[in-house]
Amino acid sequence: MDIKEAGLFIKVNIAAQRARQIMQGAAPKIQSSSRKPAAIAILELESGVLEAFTPEELPDPPEEGSDGEDTEDEL
């Protein structure tokens, strides 16, 4: 999804979700003088460093056991 072409509702939701990530300890993707997570998230959104995907654009999840780890059946 091209965030620059997204509507205001989508942009607000993306910024809110990113602000929550920052509050939970995620590192900011840009340098900012602000310490407020919402302000940082908005700056990230405006600078184009965030990516957003619609459910249709998300890759298929990997199949169970295909991550290289042993499963109970393989032991």
pTM of the predicted model over 0.75? no
Q: Are 1 and 53 in contact (CB under 8 A)?
A: yes
CATH topology of domain 1-53: Eukaryotic RPB6 RNA polymerase subunit (3.90.940)
Ordered by start, the domain boundaries in the chain are 1-53
Choose from 1-5, 6-10, 35-39, 44-48 the range with maximum mean pLDDT. 35-39
Q: Which whole-number Å values give the CA distances from 75 to 29, 63, 69, 70, 71, in the listed order?
A: 42, 18, 11, 7, 7
Distance CA 51, CA 25 (A): 18
pLDDT in tens, 28-75: 999 999 999 999 999 999 998 988 877 777 777 888 766 555 556 555
Q: What's the pLDDT score for residue 51?
A: 83
Q: 52 or 15: which carries more pLDDT confidence? A: 15
